[in-house]
């Protein structure tokens, strides 16, 4: 299995599929799966290509579940090319480390999932339930026309996913040490606070929105939203952008723009956040408008068959008992969670993702393939 996983990963890495451009990656995967009898369905939306590949049929979670692997073929830009020791799309192997943009996030684990699914079907053509792969080219950027749209399509036609493994790089210090069994929610506020334009020498004829905003922003930045819980750290808020002024040193501006983001636990929800921010703005008598962007609610798989099977598989092939964590950013798991599926994220080490010289250990990819294969065996054989 290792050689086939590495060969496929190299093929995918060599394609410059910067989000949302797939560059033919999904076609390579589709052709490979189609040879083993997978049904291939293309679900393009705008400039995003999505693949839904399935084998078998699913009727219910107990006797014939749908087990899906989810991943993405798009990657982030390479950054400063001079910082790379190899060409970022060359897919070179040096000391058993596969280098290239997307090697760890997530063309490596995607290749392991594809080969594992193909081999499982080849060895078990009459398996119970359904094996599925949900692959998108819109995860690293807008995430507007990818997994979220596929999930909407599946839900509209009552086509369930019962168990889902997302191939994001979850391992932290050692391969297999972490399973992500949930993620925090993410919401961004774009806040515009109004003032009155004027000359700095005549402040009584103007109203400085920067001065008026500072006390409120200080309270907002230091507000204790919650204390987290057994699975989630406390909700955190970060002010990420502040813009004001005309560029002149003698003009009081008439507006300040503040952008902030919250990563929130299951202890609160988006409406509670909006209400508290409105209360603070009214407390300081500010004239404002605010635009909200909820990119995902928190989700959690705290127990169930998928976690049990995954932990045992990782113990068997990686010789380590993984921890369950919900730290990190968002993933497409937040969309699949809407289907009521048990979801985990599991993949290789994440220490080089989005960096120059991104790389993944070839043996770890082989172990990933064995783990994914074993999960299918335990759930569908």
Catalytic position from the list 21, 119, 139, 358: 139
22 catalytic per annotation: no
Q: C-alpha distances in angstroms, 196 versus 261, 282, 283, 288?
A: 27, 18, 20, 13
Q: φ, ψ for residue 357 (rounded to 5)?
A: 60, 35
Length of the chain: 381
Find out whether 105 is annotated in a ligand binding site: yes
CA–CA dist 22, 122 (Å, integer): 27
The half-sphere exposure of 18 on its side-chain side, counting CA atoms within 13 A, is 8
Tell me how far apart the 2 most distant CA atoms of the chain are, in Å. Answer: 82
Name the token pair of 22: 């797939």
Find out whether 55 is annotated in a ligand binding site: no
74 catalytic per annotation: yes
Catalytic position from the list 21, 22, 74, 138: 74
CA–CA dist 213, 288 (Å, integer): 10
Find out whether 168 is annotated in a ligand binding site: yes
**Residues with Cβ within 8 Å of residue 22, at least 6 apart in sequence:** 49, 73, 74, 137
Find out whether 72 is annotated in a ligand binding site: yes
CA–CA dist 104, 83 (Å, integer): 18
Find out whether 279 is annotated in a ligand binding site: no
Name the token pair of 12: 């995918």
SS3 307: helix
**Residues of each annotated binding site for Zn(2+):** 72, 105, 140, 168, 354
List active site positions.
74, 139
């Amino acid at each position: 299995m290792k050689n086939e996983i590495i060969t496929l990963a190299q093929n995918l890495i060599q394609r410059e599929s910067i989000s949302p451009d797939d560059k033919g990656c999904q076609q390579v995967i589709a052709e490979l799966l189609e040879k083993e009898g997978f049904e291939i369905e293309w679900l393009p939306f705008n400039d995003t290509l999505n693949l839904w590949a399935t084998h078998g049929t699913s009727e219910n979670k107990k006797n014939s579940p749908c087990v899906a692997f989810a991943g993405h073929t798009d990657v982030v830009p390479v950054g400063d090319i001079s910082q790379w020791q190899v060409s970022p799309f060359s897919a070179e192997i040096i000391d058993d480390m596969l280098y290239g943009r997307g090697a760890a996030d997530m063309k490596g684990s995607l290749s392991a999932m594809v080969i594992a699914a193909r081999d499982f079907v080849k060895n078990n053509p009459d398996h119970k339930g359904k094996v599925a792969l949900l692959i998108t080219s819109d995860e690293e950027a807008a995430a507007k026309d990818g997994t979220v749209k596929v999930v909407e399509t599946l839900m509209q036609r009552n086509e369930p996913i019962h168990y889902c493994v997302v191939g994001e790089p979850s391992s932290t210090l050692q391969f297999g040490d972490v399973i992500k069994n949930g993620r925090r929610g993410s919401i961004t506020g774009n806040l515009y606070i109004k003032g009155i334009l004027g000359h700095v020498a005549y402040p009584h004829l103007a109203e400085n929105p920067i001065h008026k905003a500072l006390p409120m922003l200080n309270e907002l930045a230091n507000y204790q939203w919650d204390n987290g819980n057994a699975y989630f750290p406390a909700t955190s808020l970060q002010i990420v952008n502040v813009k004001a002024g005309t560029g002149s040193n003698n003009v009081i501006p008439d507006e300040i723009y503040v952008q902030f983001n919250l990563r929130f636990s299951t202890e609160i929800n988006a409406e509670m956040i909006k209400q508290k921010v409105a209360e603070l703005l009214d407390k300081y008598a500010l004239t404002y408008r605010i635009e909200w962007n909820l990119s995902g609610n928190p989700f959690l798989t705290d127990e169930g068959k998928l976690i049990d099977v995954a932990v045992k598989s990782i113990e068997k092939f990686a010789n380590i008992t993984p921890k369950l964590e919900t730290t990190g950013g968002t993933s497409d798991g937040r969309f699949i969670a809407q289907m009521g599926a048990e979801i985990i994220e599991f993949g290789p080490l994440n220490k080089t993702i989005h960096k120059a010289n991104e790389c993944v250990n070839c043996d770890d990819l082989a172990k990933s393939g064995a783990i994914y294969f074993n999960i299918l065996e335990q759930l569908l054989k």
